[in-house]
A and B are shown apart, each in its own frame.
Chain A
Amino acid sequence: MRSWDELYFGLLGISLAITGAIELFVGIAGTNVSIAFVSVGGTYLLWRGVIVFSAGTFFIKAAVNGLDTRRNQGIAILAAIMVWIVAGTEVLARVLGAIPGGSDVWVASANQIVRSIAPPYSPSIVFALLALVVVRYAVDTSGGTGGGVGE
């Protein structure tokens, strides 16, 4: 019987792998695809596709092998970090790109800066939020020590 964790991260992994594959195909085709508030396109899409696909397979691997072992929890955390790197750099680029207001203004208004993080979003930003659940493994296991404790 699989735990809810394994089911959740298994589904997340499958979704990521499929999205990564779509990004790869769209990247090769050189087009953009938009569905609702999610957009697949832009520069380095092939690289992002490879990374998102790899993160998906990591989540699947961790879920299939059982998330009760700390090694598999570590794999899930690495997969989440991969998604966060892709999403984080995209948000950073958006915000930093919006701050300069040109030679006359120098710093854009707060409104313009906030508007830069409005939709559409890349899939990795959406998945980055869903991957936050792995933080519980970091919290659960980070207090461990390397050996016995004497008194």
Chain B
Amino acid sequence: MSSKLDSVERWNLVDAIADEAVEYNETRQPLSEIIGKLTIEPWIGLPFAVTVLYGAWAFFGAVAGFFTDGYFVPFFDNHWLPWLQDIFPLEGSWIYFILVGDPTATNSFEAFGVLTSGLFVAIGVVLPAIFALYLVIVLFEDSGYMARLAVLLDTLFQKVGLHGYSIVPLVLSFGCNVPGVAATRNLESKKQRFMMMTLLSVFIPCGAQLGIMLSLIPQYTGYILLYLVVGFFVVGAVLDRVVPGSTPELITDVPPLRQPHPGNVTTKLALRIRGFFTSAVPFVLLGVGLVNVFYLGGLIEWLANSLEPVLTGWFGVPKETVPALIAGFLRKDLAVAQLAGLGMSAFQTVMAVVMISIYFPCVATFAMVIKEGRNSFGITRTLGASVAVLGVTLFVWGGLLRLLGIVLGVA
């Protein structure tokens, strides 16, 4: 009987039963776990992260280019614009100018109307960009890689008062600043949101601008990008000391790597694109309408004339860059394209491209800064402070580039 067994005999009995009942195999770590650990080791994880970010950007370039250049540009330029110019009444009136724009325009960018350039920018340019980038971001999130990327880059971003999850808006902005600014709402403090949306608006060129830079001035694009990225971190470090507010440390759970679930991916993607349609598109259209009102009121011309001495005196670029800078408010890539025909020196071209990048965000980004401002220090304070940072940065960082050019004897 078991009651007559002493403790040693009982344990022997337990061992005997366990030997009969339990089968032991060698413990094997799942491959996904091994790879998951490797991706957060700096020496392996950082080159891999560079590859993943390159892949994300190359995917964006291919997909956004497919929709925008392959379909939306021909559709808007060859079908939508001529049709609208034909059927819209009141040609020559102010309402025609605001909604359709230039009646002689041959492409949707030049027309500058709410229903032509506005729709083209919102649907033809920004929508494909956010579709491609949101898809990549959702795949990162659902696979568990996003948390690893955040952990890996946290140390770098902590130096400028941000944290690892700042990589999301940063990556998005290299495709298009609009979803980048929208993604700043995921950052924890008001200070971080303000800093990130300001730094993105000032320093990060969008994919379209990078593309046109690479085709027009490939030999200088790398240097310009380097100068802008250095500026991002230098001005970020200054803002971290100047802007009040907290910079919380990153505390995150790193989930296991797993295959993204198609249902999750499509749901998240659909929700975000719906959000873009309901919140961002009206702001973009409104922004284009406002620019047209400013044109009608003579504000743009007044600005061009007023800024001419500053542009030529401080930055050393010719006055002919003024129209390109104004066009840059609508689309920076085409503003860069306009510079190509001005016959400037190499340094003046670099200088003008840097200025187009940092002088002001495009109208769509500007509209998103207004919208997202309420998640930071409030719309008025965020916008005012962003414009102030932008103005100071333009003069200091832009002036520093000219000084570098003078020192090197190329300016």
Residues of A with Cβ closer than 8 Å to B? 30, 43-44, 46-48, 50-51, 54-55, 58, 70-71, 73-75, 77-78, 81-82, 85-86, 88-90, 92-93, 96-97, 99-100, 102-103, 106, 137-138, 141-151
Contacts and interface: CB of A to CB of B under 8 A. Distances in A.
A147 to B, nearest CB: 6
Contacts of A71: 34, 38
Contacts, number: 132
Interface residues of B, number: 42
Nearest to A145: B28
Please classify the interface of chain B as helix (H, G, I), strand (E, B), loop, or mixed, using the class held by over half of its residues.
Answer: helix
A103 B79 contact: yes
B27 A44 contact: no
Interface in B181-230: 214, 218-219, 222
A135 to B, nearest CB: 11
Interface of B: 21-25, 27-31, 33-35, 38-39, 44, 47-48, 50-52, 54-55, 58-59, 61-63, 65-66, 69-71, 74-75, 77-79, 214, 218-219, 222
A75 B44 contact: yes
A62 to B, nearest CB: 10
A74 B32 CA distance: 9
Please classify the interface of chain A as helix (H, G, I), strand (E, B), loop, or mixed, using the class held by over half of its residues.
Answer: helix
Contact of A89 (B55, B65, B222): B55
A144 B51 contact: no
A85 B52 CA distance: 7
Contact of A74 (B34, B47, B52, B75): B34
A86 B51 contact: yes
B51 A150 contact: no
Nearest to A53: B47
Given A93-B62, A103-B75, 6 more contacts: A44-B58, A50-B50, A73-B34, A74-B38, A100-B69, A149-B25
B27 A146 contact: yes
A51 B66 contact: no
A103 B214 CA distance: 25
A31 to B, nearest CB: 11
B65 A30 contact: no
Nearest to A142: B31
Contacts of B218: 30, 43
B304 to A, nearest CB: 33
Nearest to A82: B51
